[in-house]
Amino acid sequence: MRLEMKFDLKWLFFVLVFFVSCEKDDVLEYDNYLVSSSEVKKYSKAEFLTTLSSVFGAQSAQVSFLVRSGISLHKISYLTKTPEGTQITASGAIIIPTDLTEPLALGSVQHGTISDNSQAPSYFNQQSESALGQFFASTGLIIAMPDYLGYGDSQNYPHPYEHKTGLAQANVDFLLAVKEFIKKEGINWNNNLLMAGYSEGGYATLATQKLIEEKYSSQFTLKASSCGAGAYDKTKTLESFINSKTSGESTNNRSYIWVLLTYDRLYGFNRPVTDYFAEPYASDIKINKQNVTISKSFNEILNPTFVAGLKNKTETKWLEAIKDNDITEWKSKVPTRLYHGDADTFVPFFNSESAQKGMTAKGSSQVTLEKVGGGTHSSSIQFFLLGTLDLFNTYKN
Q: What angle do CA 74, 131, 13 make, to 5 degrees?
A: 140
Phi and psi for 181 in degrees, rounded to 5? -65, -45
- Identify the pLDDT of residue 66: 83
CA pair distance 253, 205, nearest whole angstrom: 23
Query: Which of 152, 145, 168, 144 has the alpha carbon at shortest distance from 3?
Result: 145
- Identify the pLDDT of residue 94: 99
CA pair distance 69, 89, nearest whole angstrom: 31
CA pair distance 7, 121, nearest whole angstrom: 18
Query: Which of 387, 16, 23, 3 has the alpha carbon at shortest distance from 225?
Result: 387
Q: Look at residue 388 and give its three-state secondary structure.
A: helix
- Identify the pLDDT of residue 8: 55
- Identify the pLDDT of residue 61: 83
Q: Which residue has the higher pLDDT, 390 or 299?
A: 299
Buried b (16+ CB within 10 A) or exposed e, 339-353: bbbbebebbbbbbbb
Q: How many CB atoms lie within 10 A of CB 170?
A: 27
Going across the sheet that includes 336-341, the strands are 34-43, 71-81, 87-97, 142-146, 104-110, 189-198, 221-228, 336-341, 367-372
pLDDT(62) > 90: no
| Banded model confidence at residue 30, pLDDT cuts 50, 70, 90 | low
- Identify the pLDDT of residue 29: 52
Phi and psi for 38 in degrees, rounded to 5? -150, 140
pLDDT(21) > 60: no
| Banded model confidence at residue 108, pLDDT cuts 50, 70, 90 | very high
What does the pLDDT look like over 249-306, one tens digit per residue?
Answer: 999 999 999 999 999 999 999 999 999 999 999 999 999 999 999 999 999 999 999 9
Of 6-20, 191-205, 368-382, the least confident: 6-20
Question: Is the sign of the CA dihedral 4, 347, 318, 303 positive or negative?
Answer: negative
- Identify the pLDDT of residue 227: 99
338 contacts 196 by C-beta, under 8 angstroms: no
108 contacts 195 by C-beta, under 8 angstroms: yes
CA pair distance 176, 219, nearest whole angstrom: 8
- Domains contained in the chain, CATH given: 9-233+330-395 (3.40.50.1820), 234-324 (1.10.260)
What does the pLDDT look like over 32-47, one tens digit per residue?
Answer: 999 999 999 999 999 9
Beta strands in 266-361 (DSSP E): 336-341
Long-range contacts of 54-59 (CB under 8 A, 24+ apart): 54/126, 54/131, 55/126, 55/131, 55/132, 55/135, 56/9, 56/12, 56/13, 57/9, 58/9, 59/9, 59/10, 59/12, 59/13
Q: Look at residue 344 and give its three-state secondary structure.
A: coil
- Identify the pLDDT of residue 28: 45
- Identify the pLDDT of residue 5: 46
206 contacts 230 by C-beta, under 8 angstroms: yes
- Identify the pLDDT of residue 63: 79
Question: Is the sign of the CA dihedral 61, 62, 63, 68 positive or negative?
Answer: positive
| Banded model confidence at residue 393, pLDDT cuts 50, 70, 90 | confident
pLDDT(233) > 50: yes
Length of the chain equals 397
- Identify the pLDDT of residue 12: 56
- Identify the pLDDT of residue 20: 46
